[in-house]
Chain A
Amino acid sequence: MALKNIYDVVVVGSGPGGVAAAIEAKKNGADDVLIIERDYELGGILVQCIHNGFGLELLKEDLPGPAYAQHFIEEMLSLGVEALLNTMVLDITPNRHLFVSSKEHGYVEIEARAIVLAMGCRERTRPQIRIPGMRPNGVFTAGTAQRWVNVEGYMPAKDVVILGSGDIGMIMARRLTFEGAKVERVLEIQSYLSGLSRNLVQCLQDYNIPLQLNHTVKRIMGKNRVEAVEAVQVDEKWNFIPGTEEIIPCDTLLLSVGLIPENELSRKAGVKLDPITGGPYVDETFQTNVPGIFAAGNVVHVYDLVDWVSEAGFEAGKRAAQYAISLRNAEARYIPLKAGKNVRYVVPHKLDKSSLAQEDIRLQMRVTRPIEQPVWIEVHDGENLITRKAEKYVRPGEMVTVVLKTKNYSDVSKANSLTIDINPR
């Protein structure tokens, strides 16, 4: 695939938000739409979310994550969206230039009339919740374990404690049970479940996995591999309650302790972030504070349902297309003024064709070399002469002026560029 220098819409990330944005961008008239993915396949995190429950609202079907992703990826590709895999966006500027590192194309600069940020979110890790104790192998985020078990074919645990009652944690409790592990329990520091109630039923209660609210991990034990965790009850201020400690032998601690929108790129582009959501401030069109830069999905705030992520993507993609088209129309009104034969430069460098309908436009230039005889100063569009002016001679030290008249408007309005040549008469 040959990359273009400029796209109407560039989407960063091919999860459900990005794919939805690319679909609606294309459907709303964006000509060239590029979606950039750092992984080696499209789909984002849905690829590893093999459990069902996706699409109930949007597709009226109870689908597993990969099927939901494939449904929209097929639609996107059939619309002619270009997909660039194995490509990391390194930097985005406020005037919508993207600097990317691509396996296929190397280091490339791409310009976009509009950008949709759809980088999703990341899981909170052990250092972000500061669990004391040893630092052995066997402490993973739930999503990392999900990737290994569901996609790569590795079983990382035999005996598991899960900290946090987020949806991925509960879903992994069931998944690891299916694959033969023993899930000892799920600990939740808050006094309430942090994921969906349906997952408490179908992931924990169905398999007799105990959930302990107001509990957390006080200490991780084990030198090379996790050997146990020390669980403890907490009060309403999350202080440990002495005497409630319990050592739970296990070889793995999974963390399902929240998701954080991934916005390093947004920050570089000058996008302002809300400290509460961790995502960009957006208006009702999902436009950020930077004109032409939109954001959709979990990069803005963490959703419960993928269907709602897709809906946000649809809206952002549509609005990005509208932005790109109005910019493209504005660009199309302008044509360049080119220095032709014996002309060193022309000012202005470009002109808005529509302004010639209102008033005359003065073009000024200097010549490359003197011509000491009568000359024509000719303005043409490559084929048709639009106007010309006679001079007795031209010299580099003396500026030359020619005026485009409003009566030239109908000729100029058809031109893609204007060139000025100076030839002897």
Chain B
Amino acid sequence: MAEEVNLICTACPQGCTLTAVIENGEVIEVRGYNCKKGLDYGVAEMTDPRRMVATTVKVKNGFHPLLPVYTERPVPKPLIPQILDEIRKVEVTAPVKMKSVIVENVLGTGVNVLASRDMPAKQ
């Protein structure tokens, strides 16, 4: 018995409306996508949904008290709360360069957490 699930693609700001067709727990068809990313999103959303995560860590001696950070690739959605807990434990010392690794292989996902910008030391 096939089941249809309506999705909104988050791969880019176009927000295409997709329909995923599921049979016996498998995605057998995705409709409504306009690019390869949309097809991949439709399949992944039903099997292994992932999201980019962006948050902040504390900075010692920084121009700002916080350093914005982001996951270099999307991470599994169910792990987001635990990933945030991991990132929250980190405190860095300025200066920090953009895209330097702040947390390596966060929670064993194989995804690094990177600095979103340079953070100069306090003047």
Contacts and interface: CB of A to CB of B under 8 A. Distances in A.
A69 interface: yes
A50 interface: yes
Interface string B81-123: 0001000000000000011000000000000000011100000
Contact of A178 (B7, B84, B99): B84
Nearest to B99: A67
Contact of A67 (B10, B12, B98): B98
A64 B66 contact: no
A201 B58 CA distance: 29
B116 A200 contact: no
A291 interface: no
Interface string A44-62: 0000001111001000001
Given A53-B13, A66-B68, A150 B98 contact: no
Interface in A269-324: 304-305
Given A202-B10, A206-B77, A66 B15 contact: no
Contact of A50 (B8, B10, B55): B55
A69 B65 contact: no
Given A198-B8, A201-B10, A50 B54 contact: yes
B55 A198 contact: no
Given A66-B117, A67-B98, A67-B117, A150 B66 contact: yes
Contacts of B117: 66-67, 69-70
Contacts of A56: 12-13
B118 A198 contact: no
Interface string B54-82: 11101000011110101000000100000
Nearest to A205: B8
Summarize A's interface: helix, strand, loop or mixed: helix
A196 B15 contact: yes
Of residues A41, A50, A53, which shows the largest number of chain B Cβ atoms within 10 Å of its Cβ?
A: A50
B30 interface: no
A199 B98 CA distance: 26
A70 B98 contact: yes
A187 B80 CA distance: 26
B5 interface: no
A50 B13 contact: no
A64 B116 contact: yes
B44 to A, nearest CB: 13
A151 B58 CA distance: 10
Contact of A150 (B12, B68, B99): B68
Contact of B13 (A65, A178, A196): A196
Contacts of A152: 64-66
Interface in A1-58: 41, 50-53, 56
Of residues B15, B54, B63, B118, which shows the largest number of chain A Cβ atoms within 10 Å of its Cβ?
A: B54
A213 to B, nearest CB: 16
A364 B70 CA distance: 72
B116 A198 contact: no
Given A50-B55, A64-B54, A151 B66 contact: yes
Of residues B8, B65, B68, which shows the largest number of chain A Cβ atoms within 10 Å of its Cβ?
A: B68
Given A50-B116, A52-B70, A178-B55, A200 B8 contact: yes
Contact of B52 (A62, A67, A149, A178): A62
A202 B77 CA distance: 10
Contacts of A64: 54, 68, 70, 116
22 contacts: A41-B63, A50-B56, A50-B70, A51-B54, A52-B70, A56-B12, A64-B70, A66-B68, A67-B98, A67-B116, A70-B98, A149-B56, A150-B66, A150-B68, A151-B66, A153-B56, A178-B84, A197-B17, A198-B9, A198-B10, A198-B12, A198-B13
Interface of B: 7-10, 12-13, 15, 17, 51-52, 54-56, 58, 63-66, 68, 70, 77, 84, 98-99, 116-118
Given A66-B98, A196-B13, A197-B17, 11 more contacts: A50-B54, A52-B70, A64-B54, A66-B117, A70-B117, A152-B66, A153-B65, A198-B9, A198-B10, A201-B7, A202-B51
